[in-house]
Amino acid sequence: MSETLYSEIAQFLPATPREADDRETLLRLVRKHGLHILDRDCAAGHITCSGFILSPDLRMTLMAYHLVYQSVGWTGGHADGDPDLLGVAIREAKEETSVTKIWPLSRRILSIDALPVPPHEKHGKPVAAHVHYNITYGLIAPVNQPVAEKPDENRSVRWLPTEEIAACCTEAHMLPVYDKLIRRMRRLAAEKAALPQAMLRPLLAWYPEHHRALPWRETADPYRVWVSEIMLQQTRVEAVKGYYARFLEALPDVQALADCPEERLLKLWEGLGYYNRVRNMQKAARQIIAQHGGRFPQSYAEIRALPGIGDYTAGAVCSLCYGMPVPAVDGNVLRVMARLQEDFRNVLDGAVKADITARLAAVYPQADCAMLTQALMEIGATVCVPNGAPDCESCPLGALCMARQAHSERMLPVREKKTTRRTEQRTVFVLECEGKIAIRKRPARGLLASLYELPNVAGRLSPEEAIAQCSTWGVRPQALEKTVERRHIFTHITWEMQGVFLRCGAMPEGFVWADAAALAETYSLPTAFRCVLAGEPI
């Protein structure tokens, strides 16, 4: 672990002789004392971590009036054995100011300074003079959040215009440190802002030779592109290929989609999940027939107004089919941009996504719009991948990527969900009588609306309770054949399912009784139920 600490400190590139001396002194101490340099009782001095906090526009700084120093200053504190130096800086900033929304401008160390600490008292006990080897990170926090003092350490916390620091800080030796931190943070932010423009040439040069051949890339027909983009939401590319071909063979144009009976439509979509996607597609198709004479609209506003089409899909159709300089920002693009610019903001925040979209829109070329949209999608899907290490060695943006330079690529993007997924227990019945299985239609509203389901009830029933439940349905249960355990995960809920297989002696009218052929060809049974019926894992 001391090697990791040494490596992190060694990566800091000093800009002045003083910084070079301080870094080398600290590296010698790490070699000599190892992780003990993180502890307060290290006689040679010890590591502290500070966060210099600026507002997103870099014009305001958040500072506290420290009781020890009797001056306004930055936030920070002792590492106290914790080698996660950036984590310490963020934790101390939150504790000293009570801000909750805060993120690093970069994982890179912004400054290393050997700072002498005079004798003082803390919690009524004398503290001898010593040296803080202070490691500073640049942090960003929005100004529109509550702040509060930490009574045992500071007297006040407030935002200051950066030009007013000198008037409020009585520690003259700290003013040059604060000045260099502000300059470095602003320079770093300017470098980030220039990256969207800088990435265009290498990305467009890379795409023609490295992209995958996918069926929806062989056309600029807006209907076909639209179908593919809706299918690709929440679904893997390889899984979509077969569905895409079958769907277009059955419904080759907007009119065919608008006219398709619901049962047939849901059957074509079966297994893709999120059935509201295809229901909205049909609503959109009918709107295109009614309002646009059956011709797919050609403006962003008109496309965005169609049911089920958001900013991403509208941008994709506009750029891929009509050559408009409109970005299509999905999870792949957000990941690429977050890593390229080492952006630690939460990409699930709508305001952050809108900001990234606007920054891309500002540099979108008038030509090659379709290629740029495809290239951003492709590099996110095949190189700058999710859920694993990106292939930085083969990335055309590797030389530009700030996350790669700071070794923070595995930390990005930040995805902080506001909601938690709840879990429900359900007992699902496979009722068989004369070679047919009981199914029924779900309510017209809510989860899996209007789709067919296996009969089920909330909770986990014992065998005796399951048989009693089936008796109330009039199916005359005869034998309990087996039970299976299955799980299915929806967006906001997880079903923990016990599948109960019962042979029955009656087929009452409360159910639709379907044989294997009907289940395969006619009735759309969601994956959540098919996995119970077939005994297949999710």
d(CA 70, CA 48): 19
Radius of gyration, alpha carbons of the chain? 30
Residue 216 contacts residue 224 (beta carbons within 8 Å):
yes
- The structure tokens listed for 95 are 């504790």
Active-site option among 92, 229, 270, 378: 229
Contacts of 282 (CB under 8 A, 6+ apart): 257, 258, 260, 262, 265
3-class SS at 279? helix
| C-alpha to C-alpha distances, 217 to 202, 323, 364, nearest whole angstrom | 21, 14, 20
- The structure tokens listed for 343 are 């952006």
Residue 174 contacts residue 70 (beta carbons within 8 Å):
no
**For residue 184, which of 58, 294, 90, 100 has the smallest C-alpha distance?**
58
Known catalytic residue at 521: no
Residue 269 contacts residue 278 (beta carbons within 8 Å):
yes
Q: CA end-to-end span of the chain, whole Å? A: 40
Q: How many beta carbons lie within 10 A of that of residue 513, not counting itself?
A: 19
3-class SS at 401? coil
* Phi and psi, residue 318, nearest 5°: -65, -45
The residue assigned the tokens 């870094």 is 23
Torsion-angle region of 433 (φ positive above 0: left; ψ -120 to 50: alpha; else: beta): beta
Helices (H), 12-82: 17-33
Torsion-angle region of 407 (φ positive above 0: left; ψ -120 to 50: alpha; else: beta): left
- The structure tokens listed for 401 are 């990527």
Residue 116 contacts residue 129 (beta carbons within 8 Å):
yes
d(CA 460, CA 84): 45
d(CA 306, CA 286): 10
| C-alpha to C-alpha distances, 437 to 262, 480, 504, nearest whole angstrom | 22, 15, 10
d(CA 145, CA 138): 19
Cα 374-380-385 angle, rounded to 5 deg: 155
Residues designated as active site: 229
